Structure 1
Amino acid sequence: MEVYKKLLEIQTGLKAPKWQENTFGHYNYRSCEDILEAVKPLLKDQNCALVICDGIEHIGERYYICAEASLIDTETGDKVSNKAYAREEESKRGMDGSQITGASSSYARKYALNGLFAIDDAKDADTDGFRKQTNGPTKAEQAADSKKADEINDKFAPKKTEKASEDQVKEIQETCFATGYEEAKILKAFHVESLSDLTSIAAENILKKLNERANAV
């Protein structure tokens, strides 16, 4: 059917970057709105319309939001659809009933779109990423993240004994010339024979002081 050919064109052409950032799980993700924004130009090119609707279904003892995303060929009226479900939480801290339903609806709609347009999203409900997104990381994960951040900082931060770079030395010389400050005073104060003997940390502090001096003039 022609509608499936158009769906194929949309699936292969759709690019929906993960613009949203989750500060708890330290990862990026895409929202339902991101997908809709990315797919609209492709819908226009293929003369298709997208309709999303959802409703509440009672299954067993729980309520579920069932979302259905339908791609409709405006030239023939043919359509192809995909459904996705999201279970409502009985309660969630800081959210009232309508907010819980709304969050479940957004989740269900997003995954209905994912299935329709063949979007792979690893942050599903049964993954660590989704758990972090909804509940935040555990204390053990927080400690691991903190340790990892410290290791990265230790790797890239200048060491106390690391020598000043050529750029730092050049900048100090140029700033001394511009402000009229004597380079010899710096050498005497830091007990070094040349600026290249300074540590990176010392050079950074000197530049800070020289810039403060320049701004005060």
Structure 2
Amino acid sequence: MNEEKEMSFHEKYCQLVMKLNTPKDIKNDFAGFDYRTAEGILKAVKLVCIDLELKNIVVITTEEVEFKEGRFYKRVTATITDGINKYTSTFSAREPESKPKMDESQVSGSASTYGRKYALQNLLMISDDVDPDSLDNSKEGLPNPKKATKTQLDALKKHSNEIAQLAKLEGIAFFEQITEKKFGQSVDINKINTEQLTTLNRYLNELEKYYKGKK
């Protein structure tokens, strides 16, 4: 009797990324927005691994302190591994000089929390272009993402349609499905900004590898 072939580490990673759904389930009533947490992401990862029976897959975060230009940064590395192979993503969060009603340990902890979340989001291709997280002040003064150009949108449409054909799905339905997974809601392909474009291109590249590998 033939035994079913064990999936490679990359195939397991693709399966996890495609199945993972991490809605912004924490509500900030004072500021009027919803956000997700590192703990919520890790919980969702565990549920997908159980559901898909992805054996030996572990996602962890580690951190170290950096001192640059008179300020402390928490450099967080998120890692997914099967004990042999691994992928990593790193994110640095600067400790604020002060935070109202927080002591020094809480200020340091807020940078760790923020860094963990964004390192995990980068690793697992979770978009967060609009997420005014309650502890975040690291993006103050940065410009909002620009709208993707027509050339970029045309290339995205072409790539998405090609993978939809590999997946044997209708193009528009396929695009709605992947934006729902990555952004928590369906997004009009003509209104994608540059940050969303980067996330979707990374995701589509992984999907392409996965579907071509199934041929």
Task: Determine if contact 1:69/1:83 at 8 Å carries over to the other structure.
Answer: yes
Per-residue Cα deviation, 1:118-152 (whole angstroms, up to 9, x for no partner): 0011235xxxx35x7658xxxxxxxxxxxxxxxxx
Query: Which of 64, 67, 70 does residue 61 from structure 1 map onto?
Result: 70
Distance in 2, matches of 1:134 and 1:49, equals 27
Q: What TM-score does the superposition give when structure 2 sets the normalisation length?
A: 0.55
Cα RMSD of the aligned pairs, angstroms, is 2.1
Distance in 2, matches of 1:108 and 1:134, equals 10
* 1:11 has 2:17 as partner: yes
Aligned to 2:102, the other structure's residue is in SS state coil
Number of residue pairs the alignment of both structures matches = 128
Distance in 2, matches of 1:80 and 1:111, equals 15
State percent identity of aligned pairs. 34
Work out which structure has the larger RCO, using CA pairs closer than 8 Å and 6 or more positions apart in sequence. Answer: 2
Task: Determine if contact 1:4/1:80 at 8 Å carries over to the other structure.
Answer: no
Going from structure 1 to structure 2, the CA distance change for 1:95 and 1:68 (only over 3 Å counts) comes to same
Q: What TM-score does the superposition give when structure 1 sets the normalisation length?
A: 0.54
More helix by share: 1
The aligned residue for residue 119 of structure 1 is 126
Query: Which of 86, 95, 102 does residue 93 from structure 2 map onto?
Result: 86
Specify the code of the residue in structure 2 equivalent to 1:69: A
The aligned residue for residue 185 of structure 1 is none
Going from structure 1 to structure 2, the CA distance change for 1:33 and 1:41 (only over 3 Å counts) comes to same
Task: Determine if contact 2:114/2:135 at 8 Å carries over to the other structure.
Answer: no
* 1:39 has 2:45 as partner: yes
Aligned to 1:89, the other structure's residue is in SS state coil
Structure 2: tracts of 5 or more residues without a match? 1-6, 138-215
Task: Give the alignment of 1:102-181 within 5 angstroms.
Answer: 102-123=109-130, 129-130=132-133
Structure 1 outlier segments of 4+, above 6 Å: none
Distance in 2, matches of 1:32 and 1:69, equals 10
Per-residue Cα deviation, 1:46-74 (whole angstroms, up to 9, x for no partner): 22011211111112221100111100114
